[in-house]
Structure formats: structure tokens, C-alpha cells
Amino acid sequence: MKNLTLEKTPQTPQIYLQTTGELLIKGISTPQNVQKFYQQVFDWLTEFKNTNPKSVNLTLEIEYLNTSSSRIFVELLVLIKSFKDVGSDLSITWRYEEEDEDIYDLGEDLRLSSKTEFKYVTI
């Protein structure tokens, strides 16, 4: 299994998914076809879950999500949460600029919708 690296564009975030369990999604998400763009992420995560990773550390540093991206992120977080079912230690970190209450609130909405636990870190 190989790492998945997607460089950011004006419409899509930077995505680094490493077989060490270090996962990063950073930037803006407003792709034309959200399902198509994120399918490769879901495919990689599903394959990675089958390796029974010891630990998974997801860092989210989001600047903006459109509505369809928000829905996908809830699905993504539910999948990430399921790593606990195969015995993985799981950590999700939501990084945001201290004065950006909208992005903090977005993190809260995603956390509540996906029923996951986040660690909030200001940058």
C-alpha cells in the first residue's frame, strides 16, 4: 500500500494520507464533483483500515467547506471513527486560527454530526 498525496488547488485541499497513520487534510474544499474527488480518499482509507493500523492521527486544518463538502466530511469522519473498531488508537485534531470563530464552529458542527471526538488546537 502506498501513501496518497494530493496537492492543493484553488478548489481542493492538500491531502496527505500516510501508511504510518498520519493523515492531513488542509485548505479549501469546493470541488465541482465532491463525490468524485473524495472517492479516492474513501478508497484509500478503506484499504488502510484493512491493514489494522496501530494508530491513526488525523489533522484537519480547514479554511472553508461548501455544503456538499461538509456532508462528505461527516461521512469521512464516520469512516475514520470506525478505525477504533479494528483496535486502532484514534486522534483527530482540528487546527484553526484563534480568532476564526466560524471555522471553530464548523469543527464543532462536524464533530457533533459525526459523533467523534476532536482535539482543538489554535494556530
The pTM of this model reads 0.96
Q: Which domain holds residue 60?
A: 4-122
Q: One digit per residue, pLDDT tens: the chain, 123 residues? A: 999 999 999 999 999 999 999 999 999 999 999 999 999 999 999 999 999 999 999 999 999 999 999 999 999 999 999 999 999 999 999 999 999 999 999 999 999 999 999 999 999
| Interstrand relation of 55-65 and 22-29 (parallel, antiparallel or unpaired) | parallel
Q: How many domains does the chain have?
A: 1
Q: What is the CATH number of the domain that holds 35?
A: 3.30.750
Helix-, strand-, coil-residue percentages of the chain, each rounded to 5: 40, 30, 30
